[in-house]
Structure 1
């Protein structure tokens, strides 16, 4: 085996993107989604993790930037490893955090250039509004919140053991 200097070894490792999203529900279990101006579909509040930022910090920052809400990213609910797809040339690891319950939309301040709408939806409507590859995160997040055990998904499915 040939020794490789660390800089070369690390430079040759595969790279991936990381994102963080927030599960926020209302008291009757409806899920909060946002409608970005730059996509056809709705999404969890959240976004990409920046350089030198932890995923839970990214979640908190994104909810503050997108909704004007000061929340703490609570328990990690879901980790979903999504392979490269479409225009995204790298894999994506998505962290979903429990960001609690809101009674309503009061206090939410949407940045007009990034988001056009925010609403709570029942589960069947959430599944119709999210991209197909994101839908499994909803049930996984709700299950993880209830059972207090994070769920690992591989491309939106629980891996076989």
Structure 2
């Protein structure tokens, strides 16, 4: 007996889904990493945020960087992707992208999104990794490696 095929709508509805986030790796001319201090978390993070419905991850990175720190930068090479399993109240996996948003000069003005962020800092790369929430710190380490070597690093 032939198996009945699903309609495209049924087939797509049956596929697994995930949440997406995009961040930008931004450094100053000395190689220090721009990190931000969200007022809704206990740890620092990279500028970025959740990808909106139908939005491309690189465009979300550019939008979030502009909103959070006031910089109009292009999301360049994809440096790292981190997959995080469902956890607690989050019922689906999270895929987090880090794009290379380049280097800014020491005189660059940072304008914080005050509704979400308390502070920003340009810090030495190893210190930046230490300040990030431990489960997300590997995506910054991977992005820094990828920027040096070229390519993209997958973090599971």
Tell me if both proteins adopt one fold, taking TM over 0.5 as the criterion.
yes
- Distance apart, 1:49 and its partner CA: 0.7
Root-mean-square deviation (Å): 1.3
Distance (Å, rounded) in 2 between the aligned partners of 1:127 and 1:95: 16
1:76 equivalent in alignment to 2:75: no
Could you tell me the TM-score, scaled by structure 2's length? 0.92
Question: Where in structure 2 are there 5+ consecutive unaligned residues?
Answer: none
**Distance change (3 Å), C-alpha of 1:105 and 1:130:** farther
DSSP-derived class of the 1:78 partner? strand
Q: How many corresponding residue pairs?
A: 154
- Distance apart, 1:105 and its partner CA: 6.1
**What does 1:93-112 correspond to in 2, within 5 Å?**
93-104=95-106, 106-112=108-114
Question: Where in structure 1 are there 5+ consecutive unaligned residues?
Answer: 155-161
**Distance change (3 Å), C-alpha of 1:105 and 1:85:** farther
Q: Which deviates more from structure 2 when the two are superposed, residues 14-23 or residues 132-141?
A: 132-141
In the alignment, is the contact (CA less than 8 A) between 2:80 and 2:155 conserved in 1?
Answer: yes
- Distance apart, 1:40 and its partner CA: 0.8
Distance (Å, rounded) in 2 between the aligned partners of 1:124 and 1:78: 17
Distance (Å, rounded) in 1 between the aligned partners of 2:53 and 2:62: 15
Q: Flag as ranges the 4+ runs of structure 1 deviating above 2 A.
A: 103-106
